[in-house]
Structure formats: structure tokens, C-alpha cells
Amino acid sequence: MNEMSAIGYPPLRERDFVLATDLDGTFLGGTDENRAALYDWIEENRATIGLIFVTGRDPEFIADICDGTNVPWPDYVIGDVGTTIAEVRDGGSIAPIGALEEDISQRWGDKGDAVREALHGHPGLTLQRTPFRYRVSYDLAADDYRPGAEDKVAALGLDHLVSDNRFFDVLPKGVSKGPSLKRLVAHLGIEEPRVLAAGDTLNDLSMLESGIQAVAVGGAEAALLDRVSHLDHVFTATEIGAAGILQAVAALDLHPTPKG
């Protein structure tokens, strides 16, 4: 395989360190100063640092935040809670990798309409109008929610995921951030010990549980911290968001970090 970064740097399998990070609350979390320190460090070391966004956000959102801001462009994107696996090409286009998405598509089986019909009017769930390809997502009002949606989703042969007690995602069976990250890492030939996964809510749980070394950044959802507290490969940072990522990189000696 002759994978090459769109910005002309070595393939990720040849870089010293690869950060696979959630966005909201993690890569985008913390103070302006902390974010600038992380982003500048990455940009100054692109020849040795690879960047993968692993997020519930869609590619359009990612393109918007990276275009004209100080947020670095990633090399690859795992978006839509793991249902999109894509590469970043010249000019900032984000293109799905067909070989990695074929299985996701088959598992979904074009069940979007069936999901929307089954969950229509379910108390506490408000449909998000974004036309995702292989997921259906809802805003969750915890005080109004009534049990039963989980059973409706399972009857369709799909998975559900509740995160931050605010979002209810319906996903293809067995598809989430963790499995998609493992698939991409294997596809690119990256040695797993060079990778750090970073997250802060329950939709990052499968990524932190995947066996890849990981960090739960400061300010993470209590339910996530409870689920990963027994995992030796998960570092629990005290610093918030972006600062927590740098704290973990330094503590695990994954790459030289900024001084001071």
C-alpha cells in the first residue's frame, strides 16, 4: 500500500506517534491557550505526528472547523460515531474509504426509515434532521425519556448508544468508534503502541475499551470514568480537554511535548 498524507508528509505507519481523538470536550475542550498549545505542537511536528479525528460529528462539520481556523486538518476522519471512515485529500475534501465502509453499509441495510418510524413520537427523543448515511440520531431529554426505545432498536437488529445523557444514536450492529478505529489502524499498517485514543463521553467508550492505549481527559463524563477505571491501558488525565491530551502524551512518553 502506498498511502501518503495529503499534505506531503510520511504515511502514518512511518510517523512516531498517532493521535486518534474525539472532538467536542476533548480536542476542542479546554482553554484557548491550551488548545493553541496542542494545535501548534501538532502542526510543528506533522512529519512525526499523525492525526485522526474520531467523532460523532459529520465530515461537513469537520471541514468547517478546519477551514480558516487554527484547528489542524486531520489525516483521516472517523466520523458519525464510527459509521464514516474517510481520508483527507488535497484541498480539504474528506472522502470515504469504500473498502472500509462496505461492511458498515451492509450492517446498516438502509434501515433509516424503519428506525425513524419505530421511534417516531417516543417520549424524550427528538430526531436530529441531519441526513446521516448509516445512523439515525436523536437529542435526548432525560427527564422526559421513557424506556422502550432500546428494545425497538434491538428488534431492528441495530445498536443504540446514549452519550452525555443528551444524545441517543442508532447505529449498525457492532459499529462504533472503537471498531472503526481498529479497522483503520490495521488498514494503514500502524503499530497500535504508537496510537493514543482520547475521549470524554460514553460515545468514546468503545474506543477507550478497544485495547489501544487511551486517555480519558479531565472533565470527562462520570459514567465514562466509571467504565474505564479498571483498565490499565487507559490514562486518566487531570487536565481538561486539549491539555489532558498533552498530559497523557508526556506521561506515557509517546512523543516529546512542548516545554513549560
Instruction: Kindly report the pTM of this predicted structure.
Output: 0.94
Read off the DSSP letter of residue 210: S
At 68, is the pLDDT very low, low, confident or very high (cuts 50, 70, 90)?
A: confident
154 shares a domain with 115: yes
17 and 88 fall within a common domain: yes
Q: Give the pLDDT band (50/70/90) at residue 7.
A: low
Cell numbers found for residue 92: 480539504
Q: What is the pLDDT of residues 134-150, one digit of tens each?
A: 999 999 999 999 999 99
| pLDDT bucket at 164, cuts 50 / 70 / 90 | confident
36 close to 248: Cβ distance less than 8 angstroms? no
Average pLDDT over residues 162-186: 96
pLDDT at 260: 55
**Domain containing residue 236:** 12-103+175-251
Domain identity same for 189 and 206: yes
Q: What is the DSSP letter of 25?
A: I
Quote the pLDDT of residue 146: 95
> Please, which pLDDT band fits residue 91 given cuts at 50, 70 and 90?
confident
Mean of the per-residue pLDDT values for the chain? 94
Indicate whether 81 and 195 sit together in one domain: yes
What lies within 8 Å, CB to CB, of 32 at 6+ separation is none
Domain boundary among 172, 191, 220: 172
What does the DSSP assignment read for 33-90? Answer: HHHHHHHHHHHHTTTTEEEEEE-SS-HHHHHHHHSSSSSPPPSEEEEGGGTEEEEE-G
In CATH, what number is assigned to the domain containing residue 126? 3.90.1070.10
Residue 162: its H or E element: strand 158-163
- Please count the residues of the chain: 260
Give yes or no: residues 179 and 164 share one domain.
Answer: no
pLDDT of residue 27: 98
Domain contains 258: no
Which tens digit of pLDDT belongs to each residue from 93-125?
A: 999 999 999 999 999 999 999 999 999 999 999
Task: Answer yes or no: do 187 and 225 share one domain.
Answer: yes
Whether the per-residue pLDDT at 3 is higher than 50: the answer is no
My answer on whether 98 and 181 are in the same domain is: yes
Share of the chain above pLDDT 70, in %: 97
| 164 found inside a domain | yes
- DSSP-assigned beta bridge partners for residue 54: 78
Query: Of 172, 193, 217, at which residue does a domain stop?
Result: 172
Question: In this structure, are residues 54 and 85 in contact, taking their beta carbons and an 8 Å threshold?
Answer: no
Strand order in the sheet with 136-140: 125-127, 136-140, 167-172, 158-163
Name 129's Cβ contacts closer than 8 Å, sequence gap at least 6: none
Q: Are residues 18 and 143 in the same domain?
A: no
C-alpha cell at 43: 502542526
**How many whole angstroms separate alpha carbon 126 and alpha carbon 137?**
9
Within-domain flag for 243: yes
Same domain, 134 and 50: no
Question: Could you tell me where the DSSP H helices lie in 67-174?
Answer: 98-108, 112-119, 149-155
* Domain boundary residue, one of 123, 142, 172: 172
> Do 39 and 166 have their domain in common?
no
Percent of the chain with pLDDT over 90: 91
The pLDDT assigned to 4 comes to 41
Q: Does 202 lie in the same domain as 138? A: no
Q: Are 163 and 206 in the same domain?
A: no
